[in-house]
Structure 1
Amino acid sequence: MSTIKRAATLVAATAAVTLALAGCSGSTGGGGDPADVNPDGEITPREISWLLSRPADGGVITAMQQIADEYAEDHPGFALNLITTPDRPSYIQKYETLAAANKLPELFDTDATPFAQKLAEQGRMVDVELLLDDLGLKDDYREAALNYQRFDDGSLYMVPFEFQLEVFWYNADLLGQAGVEIPGTLDDFAPMCEELRAQGVTPIALDGQDGWPLERYMAYYPFRMAGPEFVQQLKNGEASFADEPGRAAVEWLYGLGQAGCFQEGFSSTGYADAQAQFTSGKAAVYNIGTWELSNLATEALDPAVRDAVDYFTLPTLDDAATADNEYVTPSGIGMAVNSATYDPLVRDFLAFALERYPEAYAASGALSPTTGVETTIPPGATPLYTRAVEQAGDVGSAIAMPWDTQLDPATNTRLQQELTLLVQGDITPDEFITTMDAALTENISG
């Protein structure tokens, strides 16, 4: 099955699930009170389940499984059943299908999407703001980590388990040989690419196969020009791609394509290959998050590249609406708590787990979503590792939200397809805008 057909099948399935969910919008699905975060009753151990979309060998699952085992020692009969689907599109389809059938388990992963907000409005998710406050843990969390999980109205229904900084890694030697400096503004990207191309260097390594890395670039110009509100307005039909921030982003991306910023055949390049282009010294810049610190800030890198690797954060614009220290700072997919199955046991386990989790997670070398714990710097790390960890303590509250977590699935799929065509020069900015505004109108009204 082709990529387009697979995407179409997923969109159709998701649309059907959304209609089913809308059909039961008057019910809570047998749920309890989302605001009753400390229910009365006995703590009776049983197996509880967590539907999640995370790497099975990743730090989050490893830490939570360890904590669950500790909890079970004092609560015989308790077990945490991890229902793992790392592939995100497959996970979303499973999650939305179970939601429509009112069969979600005690805990489940979700981004702050319109679909998830509908669940919250139906009373089917525990109010996490109230829960963390009741547990005395809310003030431990980084403001940016909580803000990433919030819905547009500011409500909080997901617990963050990660914290990341998305930055631009670069090879200082390659930039120096081309006689260019790191971009001071977003408008400096295209000239930088042209100079690097003139030296026979691939300017930017891009995982074009997965769609979301290129979509990140679409988010940058509107965030700097208009702030995080633009994508919120866009997905609600209160803004369009033809508006000034949207058009500016489209023309900027088209300009990146014309300047040859990305490698030849970027649309078929996968995640590992894109990273290898940077770490082998074939590409000068690579935009990725701190989840790759162990692979990019390490003595294990090729010595010919290692000492030249550095990073910069999202460049700004003149008269930008956001601060220099505000950029993409995600706290990953969040964990929601099913109000229908929330009881004294679930609360007690969460109280136990969330108190112990930050230290266990930080010990793996990862950035905790909380403050007050020290990330363990692994052996063989370069000074960049420590610098990135320290920089996490100085980020603003506004977040350049990844658009793939904000737009409806049909619009998002079309956006990723059209962005590739735009950057390749197969369509013009005006054609892109006409197509995307039509898709946005159709999917919002539909």
Structure 2
Amino acid sequence: MKKRLISLLMVFTMVTALLTGCGGKTDNTGSGGSDSGKNPSKSSEEKTVVKWLASRPVDGAIDLTMREIAKQYSEEHGGNWELQVETTADRPSYLQKLKTLIAGNNMPDIIDIDADPYCKELVDAGMLVDVKSFLKDEGKYDDFYPIALKYQEFTDGSMYTLPLEYHVEMIWYNKEIFAANKVEVPKTVDEWLDVCAKLKANGITPISVDGVDRWPVQRYLAMLPFRDTGNDYIINLRDGKASMGDETGMKSIKFLQQMGQYFNEGFAATDYATAQSLFLDGKSAMYYIGDWEQAAMLEQYEAGKVDYFYLPTTPDGKTGANEFCVNSGIGMAFNTKTFDEKTKDFILYVIDNYGKIYAGRQQMSPIKTELPKDIKFTDLYLRIQKDMNNTGEHFLKPWDTYLDSGTNAIMQDNMLLVASGDMSAEDFIKLVDDSIAVNKQ
């Protein structure tokens, strides 16, 4: 990380390009700089443009909500304010674009980023606003659900990203397949493995999984360590204080090997849409995904064909039945050089208005809000919302937010081979441990 940070700082020192393209805030006054005045409104001859490099699906709930709020805010400010959004939903492409802009001294006013090692590099370089301090200074910190903010934190408790979403992840299951094969919803991991074994013996594909995007398979690798240690194991692994070959790591590998037997055939080449279709078409019995897909599940849920359960427990585990993967997704971060009073005013406006509008799209808001009374919410939505309000203090934080990008790529590529039985545990352990050792230097 030190090498990458030094390289990043050298680029910042050498590059003197003007803010162009996706770069920082602009106006049409010809002044060439950001207006840092206290009045967020501008005269008819001036227009503030705030640039957001986003990694969200176009016309998705977040995209639509933010555009609606920005339009409303602009109208209230005489049309002299604009949120300019450039979206790249594909994460690898997005990160490549973001890194290129930053290396060229063209960091946008607002970016999307996880609280991961690359984000920490930007923080160490003084490029990102301290969001925790901002929220507390403005009296907005308690407007958010605690876990939604906790998810955005680094392990030292600092926070530089603002959540725009809030999710739980669960295992959806086909009730008809379960009933026909006389299996019950599992409460423990051992029971879950027994259910999978029985289904497979009866010729049923137990689980469909998206291997192309990697992260759904990585969740399975993370499940037992979370049950046994919370997030302590992955933090220690990242820091070189634990090995993938430790007792906890070996349990996670063995579990992935066991579950891999029950994934759909060719899972490594199965994409998101195909994995979901296999489940909804009744070709697999279970499918791990988050509440963001409740719209896809709704018709069959209301027809009594599908339901869900959360991550089963382990004996003497650190985490309980009401603790599983709860996340607030990729966060929104702000450029310290352009975070002036006008941008602050807009973000405060977002916080005041986002929750109700976002919830009105049948989404779980990270900001506490009363549900709009003119919207009829589904029973599924209300049930999941109740679940979220009753979660414990521990939550499974995805491993890709902890690991450096090189190690994460090695883990994600090779865990597919582990799950399919084409790589030994010993080889996998060496690859992961060696990568962590190299990237810590």
Q: Structure 1 length normalisation: TM-score?
A: 0.87
The structural deviation recorded for 1:378 is 7.2
Out of 120, 123, 133, the residue aligned to residue 130 of structure 1 is 133
Deviations 1:338-368 (A, max 9, x none): 1111111111111112111111101100000
Q: Match of 1:21, as an amino acid?
A: L
- The answer as to 2:192 corresponding to 1:156 is no
SS of residue matched to 2:285: strand
The alignment partner of 1:132 has SS state of: helix
Q: Could you tell me whether the CA contact under 8 Å between 2:166 and 2:326 is conserved in 1?
A: yes
Bigger mean CA offset, 150-159 vs 113-122: 113-122
8 Å contact from structure 2 (residues 169, 326) kept in 1: yes
Partners of 1:377 and 1:420 in 2: how far apart?
46
**Residue type at the aligned position of 2:391:** V
Q: Deviations over 1:1-21 (max 9, x none)?
A: xxxxxxxxxxxxx99976632
Q: Which amino acid is 2:422 matched to?
A: D
Mapped pair 1:178 → 2:181: yes
- Say whether the 8 Å CA contact 2:117–2:401 is kept in structure 1: no
Counterpart mapping for 1:266-277 below 5 A: 266-277=267-278
Stretches of structure 2 that go unaligned for 5 or more consecutive residues are 19-35
**1:398-429 deviations in whole A, cap 9, x for unaligned?**
22111122211111111111111111111222
Q: Which of the residues 230, 236, 239 maps onto 1:233? A: 236
- Work out whether 1:357 is the aligned partner of 2:354: yes
Aligned length in residues:
416
How far did 1:64 drift?
A: 1.0
Aligned pair 1:428/2:430, yes or no?
no
Measured on the aligned residues, the alpha-carbon RMSD in Å equals 2.5
What is the 5 A alignment of 1:27-426?
41-43=38-40, 44=42, 45-75=47-77, 76-257=79-260, 260-296=261-297, 298-299=298-299, 301=300, 306-374=303-371, 381=378, 383-426=379-422
Q: Deviations over 1:369-407 (max 9, x none)?
A: 0223227897694x3332112211111232211112221
Counterpart amino acid of residue 406 in structure 1? Y
Secondary structure in structure 2 of the residue aligned to 1:202:
coil
CA deviations over 1:160-210 (Å, ceiling 9, x no partner):
000011000011221232232222222333322110011111100101111
Normalising by structure 2, what TM-score?
0.88
> Take 1:222 and 1:167, find their aligned partners in 2: how far apart are those partners?
17
Distance change >3 Å, CA 140–CA 205, structure 1 → 2: same
Q: Name structure 1 gaps, 5 residues minimum.
A: 1-13, 31-38
Q: For residue 195 of structure 1, what is the amino acid of its counterpart?
A: K
How many Å apart are 1:132 and its aligned residue? Answer: 1.4
Q: Identical aligned pairs, as a percentage? A: 38
Partners of 1:376 and 1:196 in 2: how far apart? 43
Q: Give the Cα–Cα distance (whole angstroms) in 1 for the partners of residues 133 and 382 of structure 2.
A: 34
Deviations 1:20-70 (A, max 9, x none): 32546999x99xxxxxxxx86343451011111001111111111111111
Deviates more, 1:50-59 or 1:231-240: 231-240
Partner of 2:207, secondary structure, is strand
